[in-house]
Amino acid sequence: MEQQSARLGRPRSERARAAVLHAADDLLVEVGYAAMTVKGIADRAGVGRQTVYRWWSTKAEILLEASADDARQELAVEPTGDLVAELAAYLDALTVFLTRSHAGAAYRALIGEAQHDPAVAALLADHDVIGDSARVILSRALGADTCRRTLDQATASLIGPVFFWHFTGRDPALLDTAALAETCGRQLARRSGTSGGGGSAD
């Protein structure tokens, strides 16, 4: 019954959807987030302005839809069995993501916008690509039954330094991700080791 009403009228144009997402992605790289306008996206995509507004409310939404899949993929790390090596690989992937990737540029712009736009903040809260990617590794290390809060705290410890480094515009070459991975690995080992014994930490 609902299907009937859903199929009424002209269906959404997949061509228009893809053109908008591509245009947004291109414009972000070419002119930057601030100079990106809905008008510019529509014109570049060869699409009416109304068509953009019909499906997305803000340029943030467009950008998120355009980059979320790529981001997820770029931050995936295959399991090797060696925890510290995995962590190092992950932090390197994160560095490349934040400093060189298209999707990463979109993510940085969105996090930036979220600092003064609650709507964007809410949007990102539902699409925690960066947190998700870290939790995959960390739950392998700490066990699948680890509670969410412990996982999040570990995530912050792992990602935080790299995140801070790049968000405050520091030179990517000067950050020693290997040392961070080792430190984090040692910390995790302590935690999972003691978890059987006393479990006094946090």
Binding mask 1-40 for its own copies (x = CB under 8 A): -------------------------------xxx------
Q: What is the dihedral of CA 150, 155, 157, 158, to 10 degrees?
A: 140
The CB-side HSE value for 120 (13 A sphere, CA atoms) comes to: 19
User: Which of DNA, its own copies, none binds 164 (CB below 5-8 Å, type-dependent)?
Assistant: its own copies
| Minimum CB distance to DNA smaller for 5 or for 80 | 5
**Residue 111 interacts with its own copies (CB under 8 A)?**
yes
Contact 42, 48 (CB under 8 A): yes
Contact 23, 41 (CB under 8 A): yes
Q: Which of residues 15-54 bind DNA (CB under 7 A)?
A: 15-17, 19, 37-40, 46-51, 53-54
| N-terminal to C-terminal alpha carbon distance within the chain | 53
Of 1, 2, 11, 148, the residue at the interface with DNA (CB under 7 A) is 11
Binding mask 64-103 for DNA (x = CB under 7 A): ----------------------------------------
| Cα–Cα distances in angstroms (integers) from residue 17 to residues 30, 48, 71, 77, 98, in the given order | 20, 11, 19, 30, 26
**Residue 168 interacts with its own copies (CB under 8 A)?**
yes
Contact 63, 110 (CB under 8 A): yes
Residues that bind DNA (CB under 7 A): 4-5, 7-13, 15-17, 19, 37-40, 46-51, 53-55, 58-59
